[in-house]
Structure formats: C-alpha cells, structure tokens
Structure 1
C-alpha cells in the first residue's frame, strides 16, 4: 500500500475512458489499497478514481462522511430528480464549480471480494458517485460547470479554467 501522486488538470490520462476490471487479482486489490491511502492522505476528501492516479481501470474509493466505499466496475442503473451545488476535485486543487447532478442514483458494482452489490445514494453521496463515475469515463466536473460558475476556494473569486479545459480536450 502506498500514497500515489494525483494527476493534475490537463493530464491527458484524465480524459481517457477506464477499462473494466476483468479479474480481482492481488494487483487490482493493491490498486484499491493505494487509492484508499491516497484519498486519506488528502484529508479524506470525498472520492478518488483510479484514472486520477494514472491507472485506467474502473475503480473508485469514496468516503462521503459515513465510511469507506469501494466501487469496482460501477454502473448507474437509475437516477432521479436534481440538485445544484458546489463540487471540487483533487485533480483541480483550490477550484470549486457549481454543478447540476441527479439527487438520487442507484448503482450496480462489485466489492473487493467479487460480489455484486447495489448501492443507492441521495444528496451528497449521489453527487460523489456521479463525480467519480464520470472520472472513469474521461469526464471532469468542469465539463458540467456553466461559464462563470468556477471559483477559487480560498477567495471565492471567479476562476478562468475554460481555456485550459479546451486544451485538455485535445
């Protein structure tokens, strides 16, 4: 187990679609452990997806305030209603954007023991699940932010990452 470097905004890996985990080998379980170590080294912020540490596999770890959740090959089965609120990302330190998401999601995922699990999330957990699954598909939270709705966390001044976003899509 080890803390890994989180890829920053603009790294092309963040725009790639992650591949499914075909078999839960010791190597795959080590990736999960590394994700957990890296997440908690960053003060246990909401979530981290494998592409954020340079590994294109469909794996996510989250702690949205109620303990660790590990997702392997997650897929959204249902989503309902909507919420609008602030989002941030470990790959975009210091930046927050206002994002519209579903307020409820139901997902199907595997556990680290290979069992199929269904998970429902409301409110903040639903937001976290959608944010992290987006990472697995090469989608970033800033793709959902309307112009003028991106801010620096410390000062609340508007941030202009739209030009950088265009560059990261190439």
Structure 2
C-alpha cells in the first residue's frame, strides 16, 4: 500500500486542466491503486489525480460498499438534469465546507482499469461526487461555487438538520 501526499490549495495543479490518458500502463494501474489507498486513508469518498500531483484525467469515487468503487479513466459527463444543493468538502481544502448547486442526475462515460467503457447513471450524492471529482480534472474547484460556507464545528449539526 502506497499513500500519496494530498496536494493542498493553492497548488497550481489544482487549477490546471489535466491530460487525457492515452494508454493504460502498469504506472496507471499502480496510480489507481495508490489513489484508492490514499482516498481511504484520508476518509474521502472521491479523489482526482491532480490531488495527488498527477495531471491526468483519472478520478475515483466510492460512496459506500453498496455503490462500489468507480475507477474512471478519461471520464466525461454526457448528460445532466435537474438541480440540487448540498454540502461538499474536499481533501485539498481541509476544514472547508459549503453548499454547492449541482445537477441532480447525470450520465458519466469512462474507461475502467481493464480498458472497458461504461456509461453510468447517477443521481443524488453519487452524481454530486462524480461532478466534484470530474471538475478537478478541468481545473475547477468547488470553493468557486460555494453558496454558503459551513463552519467545520457546525457541520454535524447542519447535516442532521438537513437529512432527508
């Protein structure tokens, strides 16, 4: 298990568009594994390659065991519908939380570690996690979209108050 250092804002790589992966090499496979270990160790539900100092179109999302792990190479959102506002945080912004408006439903197309292409429909928090991570690949940050900042000490209370 190799843990990678998490890049913190204001590192320039976080605001720079990433390069498309042209070939799935042993290095890419190792990066996917290392990114997963790093995400889990840091209590994340998603991580994008720029967050571990790699300017590549790679992102991982795993909300829980039920949804499973999505290892996405060259992901793109091909459909968006609706709108919802919910709380987000980011491994690259410790103790920064806020509400962000995102599409409620999306379809994301990506290639997995085996070179197979998928189209996945997602709604709710899974759609939100996909959108957050894919924006990292375009050099966009959730902090630019925050509607209301939430104090880290008030986060648990906010979450309880806004449970569906």
TM-score (norm 1): 0.87
Q: Distance in 1 between matches of 2:151 and 2:20?
A: 34
Instruction: Find the residue that maps to 1:94 and give its secondary structure.
Output: strand
Whole-angstrom CA distance in 2 between matches of 1:37 and 1:72: 17
The number of residues matched between the two structures is 153
State whether residues 105 and 121 of structure 1, in contact with CA within 8 Å, keep that contact through their aligned partners in structure 2: yes
Partner of 2:51: 52
Q: Which residue in 2 is equivalent to 1:85?
A: 86
Structure 2 residue 24 is matched with structure 1 residue 28 = no
Tell me whether 1:115 sits opposite 2:116 in the alignment.
yes
* Partner of residue 70, structure 2: 69
- Runs of 4 or more, structure 1, over 6 Å off, are none
1:168 is aligned to: none
The gaps in structure 2 that reach 5 residues or longer are 156-164
Per the TM alignment, residue 152 of structure 1 is displaced from its structure 2 partner at its CA by: 2.5
C-alpha deviations, 1:49-68, integer Å up to 9, x for none?
00001000000111112321
Check conservation: 1:94, 1:154, Cα contact below 8 A.
no
Any unmatched runs of 5+ in structure 1? 157-170
TM-score, structure 2 normalization: 0.90
Distance 1:50 1:39 in 2: 11
